Structure 1
Amino acid sequence: MMARTGQDNGPSGGKRGKRPTMVDVAREAGVALRTVSRVVNQDPTVGADYAARVRAAIAALDFQPDERARQLRRGVSGTIGAAVRRIAEANPVLAAIETTARAAGLTLLASSTDDDETREREVVMSMCRRRLDGVIVDPIGDSHSYLKPELDAGTPIVAVDRPMAGVMVDSVMSDNAAGIGMAFRHLVQRGHRRIAYIGDHERVFTGRERAAAFRACLVAHGEPVEGLVYPGNIDRARIAKALETALHGPSPATALVTGNADTTTEVLRCLGERATRLAIVAFDDVPLADLLRPALTVVAQNTAELGGTAVELLRARIADPSRPVQNVTVPVSMIVRGSGELPA
């Protein structure tokens, strides 16, 4: 007969049942405590008969190993963190991080930084204090030197989508300059000369890099930069004003490149029906892009590779803390759907 290890009186009993321990399992199976520990930790050298008895006792008692104790013994938690700009909406890079982490047997804890430097620091430091095995960060702040003590203490950290300033960490990001060049040339080949750019604020690395790449494209094609480049906060009023200036000035633009998914969404809201008559290439794919008329042509990031590579870089850093810092650039691709093919 199986021994009872405690009493659960339920919500109304006012008493919490005692969880079965490895001592209870050892008593139930009639084996030494060390044997139970070896079975729980999947030691292949345990004899088949002993292993079967322990597993039967575990099932009978509904025993669940104390993960915290196991973590203390092994010195790892099996848990990694991800601090990303937003998780309250579709985030394909975070989804890829979670998929890759799960395949590697890791649990993911994620939190939003909401594009706020103070919030980012709070989130990342909270994850470090919890002694997670490592942290993946979608950086926002101008400097991450506050992480130097954590890095010196051996906390593995990887930057995704943009690098960190002030510290040397592994990173993975898209080829932003190549993507902007791809979008610009695509519109030039359709006869456009006045091409405007509306993007994210240049305090953000990706916003700064994409705006700079667009300016370089204009200069290389002998076009003036004045009146064609509009970086800034992703704010509807700001974007509406930029569109008005770019599309209704003395030399109006006939085509548009948008710098990221959030900017594209606001641009489409501001344009309304006018979007059907304006050639647009967006950096980043957006939900329902193929349902627009014309459907939206985009420079798509390989989000699966971005997220997956971030996890693999983190695992490599956990396995070998002394390995050289690695910076990976992931290629982008053009998805032609119609909006970028409208002629001048």
Structure 2
Amino acid sequence: MLKDYKGACHIHTEYSDGRIPVSDVITSAQDAGLDFVILSDHNTFLPKHDGWEGWHDDLLVIVGMEVSPRRGGHFLTLDTQPLTDNRYVDLQKYKYMKPGDCLDDVVSKGGTVFIVHPLGKRKISFSIVLKAWHDWEHNGFAGIEIWSYLHDWIDDLKLSNLWHFYKNPNLQIKGPDPELLSLWDELGQKRKVAGISGLDAHYRKFPFAKRPFFTYEELFKTIRTHVLLESELVKSDEAVQLICDAHKEGRCYVSFDLLADATGFNFIADSGERIYYMGDEIVSIENKIHFNINSPHRATIKLLRNGKIYNECEGASLDYSSAEKGVYRVEAYIENRPWVFTNPIYVR
């Protein structure tokens, strides 16, 4: 049985436009019961140079970076040791480069790339203009952000409903964008593409409000990525790499834990010869594959193949066998609200 660790990704701090100290991020994450957080300030690794990466009691802090060109889509990068070894590397150059050139540069230095807010977002009334990612033929990215709390929340936001959204933020969460899930399914039929979550957390306070729109502790209880590891996560030098590798390999799932803590959710495939987990690829198997899904809570469980519902049930488990090739993943809903979205198991 793989070990399940939950964390939050795509977090901004005072090192860019987050307006909150890393120490406060750490305290909020610990209070929310997280195992890890991934910071992603714009075009800087300064939090790592300043010693924030590593263990803080039982919380693991990982310093990533949101590469943010002005003329196109953004991406999160991890594992960029050559970039982080030298404090004086000019990472601000990415502002003026094309997105594809940024990606090429990061990958050439060993970085792992995840496209964030892939479809972009435009809310002129709130000064939000984020450009979409367009270069989907590029094979350099390892994954995409399939569910972002902030971008889900602002999707239907207007000046006329701002107060309602402020008072009841979690009621506005609808789940990953169907267009984005469809794109992810298409990409997965060509090659392995991991799906991760993001908060795009920023500290924002408005004059009329008594508290910020979102405290980080509140955000850290919402959409999380659960990574699955073969052994317990111990306080060692390898811990950061283990979490990063799980994201890269898609050995993880995304969940809205405010509905119910999804820890223990499991999706496996049994070929009769070995067990396959989320993110695994099954090649040249002639016999039927037996899929098994187990949930820690009763839910509507859907097994999808190439983006289409293949089987579903109401309960805490689903078993199904198939001899068809395809990209298999799972969605789960609690009382019709989106809850869990797993990475695929690929049958080639």
Short-chain TM bin: under 0.3
More strand as a share of residues: 2
- Work out which of the two has the higher radius of gyration on C-alpha atoms and give 1 or 2: 1
TM-score scaled to structure 1, two decimals?
0.26
TM-score scaled to structure 2, two decimals?
0.26
